[in-house]
Chain A
Amino acid sequence: MAERSVGRQWRLPLVVLFAAFLLVSPPFLSAYWVGLLTQVVILGILAMSLDLLIGYTGLPSLGHAGFFGVAAYGVGILSTTYHAGFWTSVAGGLAIGTGLAALFGLIVSHVRDVYFLMITMALGMVLWGLSFRWIPVTGGDNGISGIPRLETLVGLPAAGPIPFYYVALFVFALCMGLMTLLVKSPFGLTLQGIREHEPRMRSLGFNTWLHGYLSYVCAGAFASVAGIMWAYYNGFVSPTYLDLTASSELFLMVTLGGPATLVGPVIGAGAIVILKNVMSAYTARWLLILGIVYIVTILWAPQGLWNLGQRRRA
């Protein structure tokens, strides 16, 4: 791991700079930009949760938006159909997202690599099909709208984009802190050991299945948090939250930003949200540009933007 320290000195100042920006800039920005920043931090949580799988455990999931979407549906259904209170809805969303991860984990966590990719993609599509077809509960294609505003529910004195943003930022910081603790803990180090060489870890006496399983459940739980925030942010839920496009865009965020860094995926999320929204005002060809940006990034920084200037990991 010695070569990873190359070019590392600019990381800390950058992180401080980003953090300061996220913290102080919103009052000086227009409501639209605050909205985009809110999207960045919420999708940042989601991208970090996928990073636990792709980056730290070496499990490429192409169905991760499923938990995000299911938790969002949990909130949507509880708070509109059942008129549940705020905390009940949040707890419900978290429970259903995490519960589903615990269930799916049993199926997926004994396969690796490409097989993991395929089976998560399939499960993701099953969830999408469910959201699309289980009309009495999910509203089908039209989704569920009318989710109450979050600011009033948590008892904030003011409503609007800026208070919501700070709630999202607080949740983001909390999740990032927890995930950082997780990856630095012995458990997290074991995960990275599995990523590097699973048979060795197994022969050292680690239960690699259990570790993979728990990592999957944790990732699902954090994705659910992001899904809950997303439901409140948009005020509605629809099947596009958990389709294949959403999962692959998420995959792009993590790999573009730099897997196994936590910060990288947030930068990836920021880059894609900003790029997409700014570019689409000028050209309908933004998808082409995004694809080219992506290819160029992999050519020049195969380990992602945040690992730029570092040598490739073998």
Chain B
Amino acid sequence: MVYFVTQTLNGLFSAALLFLIASGLTLAFGVMRIVNIAHGSFYMLGVYVAYTVATRTSSLLAGTLVAVIIVGAVGFLMQRLFLRRFASQPLAQMMMTMGFALVFRDAALMIWGGDPFTLTTPGWLAGSMEIGAIVFPWYRLFVIAVAALVGVGLWIINERTLIGARVRATVDDPEIAAATGINVARLSGGVFAVGAALAAFGGVMGGPILGGYAGMDFELLPLAFVVVIIGGMGSLKGALIGAIVVGMIDNFGKALVPELSYFTLFAPMVLVLALKPTGLYGRA
């Protein structure tokens, strides 16, 4: 029982991080039909920038804000200056992001060196919740709550505002959206920037536990892709469900069948793709 509760809570924690990363990926895909290989780089840059700022100002909040703004701006510029030229060529766009992933990876190594680090957990979140034999860190609960808030925020924007309506229209059909007067190019830039900022935010949220290290950019990327695939590309709801499915399977799978730790994640994805190629909530 204790074990079950702990693992479930931790599955939710994994899901929270994955949701922050995957929601940007799925939105960018929905609006621009772009597979962003550099999305993991945004996640990495987020925690690196936050680390630099936080060690100088000793404020994690300042670090978080600066990281989100800078990485969002990087994403915006990347879309505006490079990706937009290839608006209707998904392969060229993907290749472009691959090139950027290489550049970001090596630039980070050049600027920050290859030593690993972790962010300092804010004092008021240190320690663990203890109920009977159940021990669970406060910080992880905090991340779950924050991700839930972000999720609610995104849902409100998407379902209840004009911008959200435009995004949804563009996800459904970019050409018709453009015909009805939506500035798809500007919308794409915005969505891409928000996606980058969300990934950076995910990196910072994971920072006190997972930290930053060389190679982290390509490590969570496959997981985020699995989430997006299972949930269906372009669907926020899908990203949420996908993140929970992947988070749970990853945690219970690693604990129950460690022999298969490299496979447990991909099996559900292959299954979903074989049965419903567009994912649970995706549109063809």
Contact = CB atoms under 8 A, between A and B. Distances in A.
- Asked if A and B form a direct contact in the complex, defined as CB atoms under 8 angstroms apart, the reply is yes
Interface of A: 54, 60, 107, 110-111, 113-115, 117-119, 121-123, 125-126, 128-130, 132-133, 244-245, 248, 251-252, 255, 259, 285, 287-288, 290-292, 294-295, 298-299, 302, 312, 314
A123 B266 CA distance: 8
B90 A292 contact: no
Interface band, chain B: 35 or more
B95 A288 contact: no
A122 B226 contact: yes
Interface of B: 29, 33, 35, 37, 82, 85-86, 88-92, 94-96, 98-103, 105-107, 110, 218, 222, 225-226, 228-229, 233, 259, 262-263, 266, 269-270, 273-274, 277-278
B92 A114 contact: no
Nearest to A292: B103
A44 B117 CA distance: 40
B37 to A, nearest CB: 8
Contacts of A123: 266, 270
Given A107-B270, A129-B262, A244 B222 contact: yes
A110 B277 contact: yes
A294 B95 contact: yes
Given A115-B277, A302-B92, A126 B263 contact: yes
Given A111-B277, A288-B110, A295-B82, A122 B95 contact: no
A245 B218 CA distance: 9
Given A119-B273, A251-B98, A60 B91 contact: yes
A297 to B, nearest CB: 8
Contacts of A294: 95, 98-99, 102
Contacts of A291: 99-103, 105-106
A269 to B, nearest CB: 16
Given A129-B262, A133-B259, A118 B90 contact: no
A292 B270 contact: no
A126 B262 contact: yes
Contacts of B95: 251-252, 255, 294, 298
Contacts, number: 109
A122 B103 contact: no
16 contacts: A107-B273, A115-B273, A118-B225, A118-B226, A122-B229, A129-B262, A133-B262, A248-B37, A287-B105, A287-B106, A291-B100, A291-B103, A294-B102, A295-B99, A298-B96, A299-B82
B89 A302 contact: yes
A276 B280 CA distance: 42
B198 to A, nearest CB: 20
B98 A248 contact: yes
Contacts of B82: 295, 299
A290 B102 contact: yes
B269 A118 contact: yes
A294 B95 CA distance: 8
B29 A114 contact: yes
A117 B88 CA distance: 18
Contacts of A285: 106, 110
A126 B218 CA distance: 16
| The 9 residue pairs across chains A and B that have the minimum distance between CB atoms | A129-B262, A291-B102, A291-B103, A294-B99, A288-B106, A295-B99, A287-B106, A122-B266, A111-B277
A204 B88 CA distance: 26
Contacts of A290: 102
Contacts of B102: 287-288, 290-291, 294
B229 to A, nearest CB: 5
Contacts of B270: 107, 119, 122-123
A60 B229 CA distance: 16
Contacts of A292: 99, 103
Contacts of A117: 35, 94
B35 to A, nearest CB: 5
